[in-house]
Structure 1
Amino acid sequence: MAFRRREKRTELSKLDATPPWDVKQREEPEPTTGPFDERDAPDDEVTRIDLGALRVPIWPGVDVRLDVNEAQQVVFATLVADQSQMQIGVFAAPRSEQIWDEVRNEIAESLVAQGGAGSDSPDGPFGTELAATLVLPDGKTPARFIGVQGPRWFLRAMIVGPAATDREKAGVFEDAFAKIVVVRGSDPLPVREPVPLTLPKDVVAPQDADQA
Structure 2
Amino acid sequence: MFRRRRAKREITAEPAVQEAPPMRESGPWDADEPHPERERVDLGGLRLPVGEGFEVQLNVAGDEIVGALVLVGDSALQVHAFAAPKSTGIWDEVRTELAAGVKDAGGRVEEREGPFGVELAGKVPVEGQGEQPVRYIGIDGPRWFLRAVLSGKAATDPAAAETLENVIRDIVVVRGEEPMPPKEPIRLRLPAEARQAMEQHASRDKKPDFNPFKRGPEITEIR
Is the TM-score greater than 0.5? yes
TM-aligned CA deviation for residue 188 of structure 1: 1.1
Distance 1:175 1:189 in 2: 29
2:122 to 113, 116, 132: 132
Distance 1:186 1:153 in 2: 11
Q: Determine whether 1:54 maps to 2:32.
A: no
TM-score normalised according to structure 2 size: 0.76
Contact 1:162 1:169 in 2 (8 A): yes
Distance 1:197 1:41, change over 3 A: farther
Distance 2:34 2:176 in 1: 14
TM-aligned CA deviation for residue 43 of structure 1: 3.4
Number of residue-to-residue matches in the alignment? 180
Distance 1:29 1:108, change over 3 A: farther
The CA deviation string for residues 173-209 of structure 1, in whole angstroms up to 9 with x for no partner, is 0011100011100111110010101110132484443
Give the equivalent residue in structure 2 for 1:167: 158
TM-score normalised according to structure 1 size: 0.80
SS at match of 1:87: strand
Looking at both structures, which has the greater relative contact order when contacts are Cα pairs under 8 Å and sequence separation is at least 6?
A: 1
Task: Quote the sequence identity (%).
Answer: 41
2:25 to 21, 32, 43: 32
Q: Determine whether 1:190 maps to 2:164.
A: no
Distance 1:208 1:35 in 2: 24
State how 1:8-157 maps to structure 2 within 5 Å: 31-44=24-37, 46-71=38-63, 73-122=64-113, 124-138=114-128, 139-157=130-148
Distance 1:96 1:157, change over 3 A: same
Aligned alpha-carbon RMSD (Å): 1.8
Give the equivalent residue in structure 1 for 2:171: 180
Contact 2:23 2:35 in 1 (8 A): no
Contact 2:89 2:145 in 1 (8 A): no
Distance 2:174 2:142 in 1: 10
Q: Structure 2: where are the runs of 5+ without partners?
A: 1-20, 199-207, 209-219
The CA deviation string for residues 131-166 of structure 1, in whole angstroms up to 9 with x for no partner, is 021111021100001111111000010011111010
Q: Which amino acid aligns with 2:51?
A: W
Distance 1:194 1:70 in 2: 13
SS at match of 2:179: coil
Contact 1:74 1:196 in 2 (8 A): yes
Q: Structure 1: where are the runs of 5+ without partners?
A: 1-27
The CA deviation string for residues 4-45 of structure 1, in whole angstroms up to 9 with x for no partner, is xxxxxxxxxxxxxxxxxxxxxxxx88643210001224233x
Give the equivalent residue in structure 2 for 1:22: none
Distance 1:50 1:29 in 2: 25
Q: Which amino acid aligns with 1:43?
A: P
Q: Which amino acid aligns with 2:91?
A: W
SS at match of 2:193: coil
Greater C-alpha Rg: 2
